[in-house]
Amino acid sequence: MFFYSLLILFSFIPNLNGNTEKTKLMKPLPQRKAQRLKGYDYATNNRYFITTNVKNFIKCLGVVYDNKMHLNVYGEIVHQQIQWIEQRYSYAKIHSLVVMPDHVHFVLEIHHLLAEENAKIKSVSELVGAFKTTSSKQIRRGGYPNFQWHRSFHDRIIRDDFELIRIEEYIFQNPKRWKGK
């Protein structure tokens, strides 16, 4: 009963424009779909297909013409920072990558045997987060102060060599399939 009384009371509080008319109660926010496979440890030895987009799909990383991707200075930063993952984290290997005008695809492998002694193995989310943070900072310093990545990223756990070959072909062919949206 007490909760119901509070609900009635708060429904008559003035809204932002000063009206005292009954305001609509807020509906609960929709549940965000889980991006990662539930129960899976994303720091285990495996290969992962990663895709992340520039916020609002702004085409700011270069252009595709003649079926080839031509990176601008921001696209070059993105390309370098993906390779930086491999340089910074000894257990991480980049198999293939493509930077497109508004997104990037790459295959990331985590392999514990390559790790330096006593190294903490970062998860896929932590590695992609490090890439997004460092590339964003460099792009902003490079003259694009409002640059942002989309909030999350898409991943796929690569289950076998056949799937790896298919995904790497998809990455390689991406500029040829680009329609400019």
pLDDT band at 94 (very low <50, low <70, confident <90, very high): very high
Q: How far apart are CA 157 and CA 57, in angstroms?
A: 24
Encoded tokens for 27: 């509906």
pLDDT band at 175 (very low <50, low <70, confident <90, very high): very high
Class of domain 40-177: alpha beta
pLDDT band at 39 (very low <50, low <70, confident <90, very high): low
Torsion of CA 135, 140, 145, 147, to 10 degrees: -10
Task: Give backbone dihedrals phi and psi of 46, rounded to 5 degrees, phi first.
Answer: -175, 175
Beta bridge partners of 107: 49, 96
Residue ranges of the domains in the chain? 40-177
pLDDT band at 147 (very low <50, low <70, confident <90, very high): very high
pLDDT at 21 over 60: no
